[in-house]
């Protein structure tokens, strides 16, 4: 829908929530996979004819200042809507803003699946691997977008139209194939931002890079509800053609001005250790005299030659290097990977300690996604002989990691891995997945989020060897049904399963039946936007009596539930989190059952349920004493007056209640 | 002559004797060994010397800090979950170091004492403290300067 920049103005009505065939316009159906395949996209120039270029003088020779909107999306870790839809999907960030400066919950924007800390508090929450690598403000989600023209960026503006304040980092990919961080949020930036639409353009670091690809990082912790992005604008100075040709000349030229520690030869290193160098020019005798009088003592001290005096006053002074190796190992175990490598360069002793395999049992390169490459994997392979947990999420997106190197790494070190996370790993191919299946048969946790290639990488029996899985996360990932069903049969100890956005090719009733038969230990299940789930499937799920978390958002739609929800609630008393967003088939009786049977409910999402009345809300609030979160947005049966009362109840019962009233009053 | 059962006497490497309540002393893993092997039953022997637990590797100065730690831990009670326990330990560690900026040497001695006396919480807090200092260094050279480490030739990987 947002592709029609030429048409100007927003397309569909504000009420559309998904892409049923009558709503979508032909050019709104975005072929996402094709877009993801295209890295080098030659622009046809159609998008920016509506005066988006801030032109001064378009001299071919000198370049000009330009403001441009997103041309396409290369990758995103999470979106609320499903791919073929136009609502709340990442593709909505393309082109000019359609809603800004209006403020509200509009489906024509880019929205991510999560907000706040609620998912970290849910039963399905995971622990970070090698958590010390994460920065103070960690990134939860990201989107990678590209523009038409290369520029030297001067400004990046993000148009936020709902709950602003989620952006924490802005990265740019330069033509030298390096990612540079143009801006990073500090503690102050995260303070409560006023709930109004805003054009967020933070001050960028001074840079000389040439780019047309940006990555925006988000952190949801402080967000009250979903944050929504309408558009992203990249402003900067274009680069004249002849300069571009020079810069894109064949490899061998290091253009980036990084140069951390240039020159590490032995002589330079030796010179660096000498901090004091007496100058001897001209009148040498005088200089020497002055040196002896003024500078000698300082020189001696700097060169660590202690005088007798000093030796007497200090007792046994212990240095870091005097500590026993086990303690040094313990200290180093708290370091993030970057500091650990740094420590390894300090001296031979620390090199030996810092390369000890015990420090590489839990390994995560997620925080270093912009640096991770095949070479680093190779280095780590030598050290990680006791590898147990591995997280390569977000790495190798632009070819920095080769599938061959990954397979080699896994073959060498993967046989004892228990936890493997490969979220948004664009370098994966079918062969890589097969290697996982063959080598990593001790896996307890496998996370392969955001791997939605077509045809799916997860096919046939590539993972059939895995029999010990307790957690399987296939959020936003395509897979063949037969593979999943066979995996369910083999992994009887499965506790956590995430199948959100698995698409139309998966029949959820079949999956549910399998779960009810083979995976009765299930604790959490996410079926967000699943297809073909019916009352029968829901009844099957009732056999998983250990369920604590169930996300059925946008499943079932208009389908009648019969008493399947009742059966589920009755048989699964441990339920803490229940999401029933947009399940129109929910009746008033169902709501009464939720109140009477949901004793342990902490998070309840009833967004878009039309039959809900304020009496039922009160019922639920009174009976579900552990409730912390209640989403009542788009419950159109609730009048404004009801919402007033509900706001009072929110305070009275100490429950965070979300309602559409927050912004409708504008 | 015979001391109360709730107290334990401990003598540091420099000959200073400390009276430590048994409850506090039991935070130290080393005490358990001592109580089991040497001090099976509380005997009202005249030879008090045998009832004093020797701490040959800890000086009195450092032991004072250790006792500060143990008392602070006892005073704060049981924390709810592992995360808040870590928080609590790190805060207490910072407190016992106090405003007087202690030298690296003191901190290292404290860490070694924690290791010798087998006090897990103190060992973790101390080592984490040093790790934080290392994390705060921006470059290899900064680490060398901060901890007075000599560079010893070309690194080969």
* CATH code, B40: 3.30.710.10
Q: What residues contact B91, with CB distance under 8 A and at least 6 apart?
A: none
B9 φ, ψ (degrees, to nearest 5): -100, 135
Helices vs. strands in chain B: H and E counts, helices first: 7, 3
Smallest CA–CA separation between A579 and chain B, in Å?
28
**A339 and chain B in contact, CB less than 8 A:** yes
Cα separations (Å) of A382 from A389, A409, B106?
16, 9, 36
Residues of chain A short of pLDDT 70, as ranges, are 1-62, 248-316, 662-666
Q: How far is A183 from chain B (nearest CA, A)?
A: 19
Q: Does A594 touch chain B (CB under 8 A)?
A: no
Residue B151 lies in a domain: no
Q: Which domains does chain A have, with CATH numbers?
A: 65-247 (2.60.120.260), 324-359 (no CATH)
pLDDT in tens, A347-357: 999 999 999 99
Q: Which residues of A touch B103 (CB under 8 A)?
A: 317
| A contact test, residue of B81, B108, B116, B118 with most A CBs within 10 A | B108
Chain A environment of B134 (Cβ under 8 Å): 331, 335, 339, 343
Q: Could you tell me which of A33, A144, A89 has the C-alpha nearest to residue A456?
A: A33
Q: Is B152 among the domain residues? A: no
Domain for residue B60, yes or no? yes
Does A335 reach chain B within 8 Å, measured CB to CB? yes
Q: Do A332 and B131 touch (CB under 8 A)?
A: yes
The per-residue b/e assignment along A590-629, b for 16 or more CB within 10 angstroms, e otherwise, is bbbbbbebbebbbbbbbbbbebbebebbebbbebbeebbb
User: CA–CA separation, A29 vs A31, rounded Å?
Assistant: 6
C-alpha angle A609-A615-A620 in degrees, rounded to nearest 5: 75
What is the structure's pLDDT at A118?
Answer: 96
First to last CA, chain A: 25
A208 CB within 8 Å of a chain B CB = no
Q: Is A532 left (phi over 0), alpha (psi -120 to 50) or beta?
A: left
Residue B135 included in any domain? yes
Query: DSSP assignment of B21-81, as one string?
Result: EHHHHTTSHHHHHHHHHT-SS----S-GGGGEEEETT--HHHHHHHHHHHHHHHHH---SS
Structure confidence at residue A90 (pLDDT): 95
Q: Residue B147 to residues A300, A362, B154: CA-CA distances in angstroms?
A: 18, 27, 19
Residues A199 and A215: their CA atoms lie apart, in Å, by 17
Residue A328 distance to chain B (closest CA, Å): 8
> Could you tell me which of A475, A474, A495 has the C-alpha nearest to residue A483?
A474
pLDDT of residue A264: 47
Distance CA A339, CA A552 (A): 43
Alpha-carbon span A150 to A58, nearest angstrom: 14
Task: Report yes or no on B104 lying in a domain.
Answer: yes
Quick one: closest CA in A to B106, which residue?
Answer: A318
Q: Which two tokens stand for residue A447?
A: 């996370």
Checking A245-254 for CB contacts under 8 A at 24+ apart, the result is A247/A175, A247/A210, A248/A175, A254/A176
Q: pLDDT by residue for chain B (157 residues), tens digit each?
A: 444 567 888 888 888 888 888 888 888 888 888 777 765 555 444 455 667 888 888 888 888 888 888 888 888 877 777 777 888 888 888 877 776 677 888 899 999 999 999 999 899 999 999 999 999 888 999 999 999 888 876 655 4
Q: Look at B154 and A320 and tell me if their CB atoms are within 8 Å.
A: no
Q: Which residue of B lies nearest to A268 if distances are taken between CA atoms?
A: B154
Q: How many CB atoms lie within 10 A of CB A630?
A: 24
Structural domain of residue B12, as residue ranges? 7-141
pLDDT at A6: 30
Element (H, E) at A524: strand A524-526
Q: Kindly give, in sequence order, each residue whose CB lies less than 8 Å from that of residue A627, ignoring residues fewer than 6 positions away.
A: A601, A602, A603, A604, A620, A621, A653, A655
pLDDT value at position A107?
Answer: 94
Bridge partners for B17 per DSSP:
B11
- From the list A427, A491, A168, the residue with the least C-alpha distance to A448 is A427
Nearest Cα residue in chain A from B132: A335
The DSSP element (H or E) to which A110 belongs, if any, is strand A110-111
Give contacts of B108 with chain A, Cβ < 8 Å: 318-320, 322-323
**Residue A285, exposed/middle/buried by CB under 10 A (0-12, 13-18, 19+)?**
exposed
Are A515 and A541 in contact, with CB atoms under 8 Å apart? yes
Is any Cβ of chain A less than 8 angstroms from the Cβ of B151? yes
Flag whether B146 is in a domain: no
How many angstroms separate the CA atoms of A434 and A453, rounded? Answer: 15
ipTM of this complex:
0.88
Residue B156, in any domain of the structure: no
A224 and A182 Cβ atoms separated by less than 8 Å: no
Strands A72-76 and A141-162: antiparallel
CA distance A380 to chain B (A): 12
Torsions phi, psi of A189, nearest 5?
Answer: -65, -20
Q: What total of structural domains would you count in chain B?
A: 1
Q: Given CB atoms, is B133 within the 8 Å cutoff of chain A?
A: no
């Amino acid at each position: 829908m947002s592709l029609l920049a030429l048409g100007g103005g927003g397309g569909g009505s504000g009420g559309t929530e998904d892409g049923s065939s009558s709503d979508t316009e032909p050019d709104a159906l975005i072929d996402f996979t094709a877009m993801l395949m295209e890295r080098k996209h030659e622009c046809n120039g159609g998008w920016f004819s509506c005066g988006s270029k801030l032109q001064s003088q378009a001299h071919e020779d000198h370049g000009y200042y330009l403001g441009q909107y997103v041309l396409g999306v290369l990758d995103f870790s999470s979106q609320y809507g499903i791919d073929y839809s136009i609502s709340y999907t990442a593709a909505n960030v393309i082109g000019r803003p359609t809603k800004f400066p209006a403020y509200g919950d509009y489906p024509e924007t880019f929205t991510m699946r999560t907000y706040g800390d609620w998912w970290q508090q849910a039963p399905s929450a995971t622990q970070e691997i090698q958590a010390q690598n994460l920065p103070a403000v960690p990134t939860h989600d990201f989107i990678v977008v590209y523009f038409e023209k290369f520029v030297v960026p001067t400004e990046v503006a993000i148009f936020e139209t709902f709950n602003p304040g989620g952006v924490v980092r802005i990265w740019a990919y330069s033509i030298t194939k390096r990612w540079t961080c143009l801006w990073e949020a500090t503690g102050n930036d995260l303070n409560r931002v006023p709930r109004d639409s805003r054009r967020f353009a933070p001050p960028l670091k001074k840079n000389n890079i040439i780019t047309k690809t940006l990555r925006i990082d988000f952190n949801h912790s402080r967000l009250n509800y979903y944050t929504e992005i309408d558009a992203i604008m990249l402003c900067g100075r274009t680069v004249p053609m002849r300069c571009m040709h020079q810069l894109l000349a064949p490899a061998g030229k290091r253009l980036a001005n990084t140069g951390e520690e240039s020159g590490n030869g032995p002589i330079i290193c030796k010179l660096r250790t000498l901090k004091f160098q007496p100058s001897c020019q001209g009148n040498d005798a005088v200089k020497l005299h002055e040196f002896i009088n003024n500078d000698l003592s300082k020189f001696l001290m700097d060169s660590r030659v202690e005088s007798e005096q000093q030796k007497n006053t200090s007792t046994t002074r212990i240095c870091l290097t005097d500590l026993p190796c086990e303690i040094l190992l313990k200290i180093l175990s708290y370091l993030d990977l970057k500091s650990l490598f740094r420590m390894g360069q300090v001296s031979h002793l620390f090199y030996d300690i810092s390369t000890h395999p015990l420090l590489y049992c839990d390994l995560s390169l997620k925080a270093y996604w912009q640096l991770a490459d095949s070479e680093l994997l190779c280095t780590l392979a030598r050290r990680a002989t006791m590898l147990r947990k591995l997280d390569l999420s977000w790495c190798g997106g632009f070819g920095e990691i080769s599938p061959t190197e990954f397979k080699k790494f896994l073959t060498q070190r993967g046989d004892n891995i228990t936890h493997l996370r490969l979220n948004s790993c664009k370098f994966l191919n079918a062969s890589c997945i097969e290697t996982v299946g063959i080598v990593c048969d001790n896996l307890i946790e496998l996370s392969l989020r955001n791997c939605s290639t077509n045809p799916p990488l997860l096919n046939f029996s590539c993972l059939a060897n895995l029999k010990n899985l307790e957690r399987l996360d296939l959020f936003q990932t395509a897979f063949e049904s037969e593979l999943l069903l066979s995996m369910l049969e083999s992994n009887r100890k499965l506790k956590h399963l995430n199948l959100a956005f698995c698409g139309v090719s998966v029949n959820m009733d079949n999956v549910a039946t399998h779960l009810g038969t083979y995976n009765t230990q299930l604790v959490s299940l996410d079926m967000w936007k699943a297809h073909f789930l019916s009352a029968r499937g829901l009844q099957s799920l009732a056999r998983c009596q250990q369920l604590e978390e169930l996300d059925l958002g946008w499943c079932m739609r208009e389908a009648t539930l019969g008493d399947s929800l009742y059966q589920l609630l009755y048989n699964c008393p441990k339920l803490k989190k229940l999401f029933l967003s947009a399940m129109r088939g929910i009746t008033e009786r169902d709501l009464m059952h939720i109140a009477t049977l949901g004793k342990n409910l902490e998070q309840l999402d009833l967004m878009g349920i039309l039959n809900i009345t304020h009496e039922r809300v009160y019922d639920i609030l009174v009976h579900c004493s552990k409730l912390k979160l209640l989403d009542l947005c788009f419950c159109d049966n609730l009048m404004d007056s009801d919402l007033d009362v509900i706001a009072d109840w929110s305070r009275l019962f100490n429950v965070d209640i979300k309602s559409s009233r927050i912004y409708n009053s504008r | 002559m015979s001391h109360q059962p709730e107290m334990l006497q401990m003598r540091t490497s420099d000959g200073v004797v400390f009276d430590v309540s048994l409850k506090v002393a039991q935070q130290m893993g080393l005490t358990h060994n001592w109580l089991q092997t040497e001090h099976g039953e509380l005997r009202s022997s005249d030879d008090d010397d045998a009832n004093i637990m020797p701490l040959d590797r800890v000086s009195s100065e450092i032991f004072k800090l250790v006792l500060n730690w143990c008392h602070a831990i006892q005073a704060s009670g049981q924390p709810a979950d592992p995360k808040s326990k870590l928080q609590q330990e790190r805060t207490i560690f910072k407190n016992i170091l106090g405003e007087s900026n202690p030298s690296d040497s003191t901190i290292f001695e404290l860490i070694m004492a924690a290791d010798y006396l087998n006090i897990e919480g103190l060992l973790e807090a101390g080592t984490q403290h040093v790790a934080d200092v290392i994390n705060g260094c921006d470059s290899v050279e900064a680490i060398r300067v901060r901890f007075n480490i000599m560079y010893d030739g070309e690194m080969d990987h």
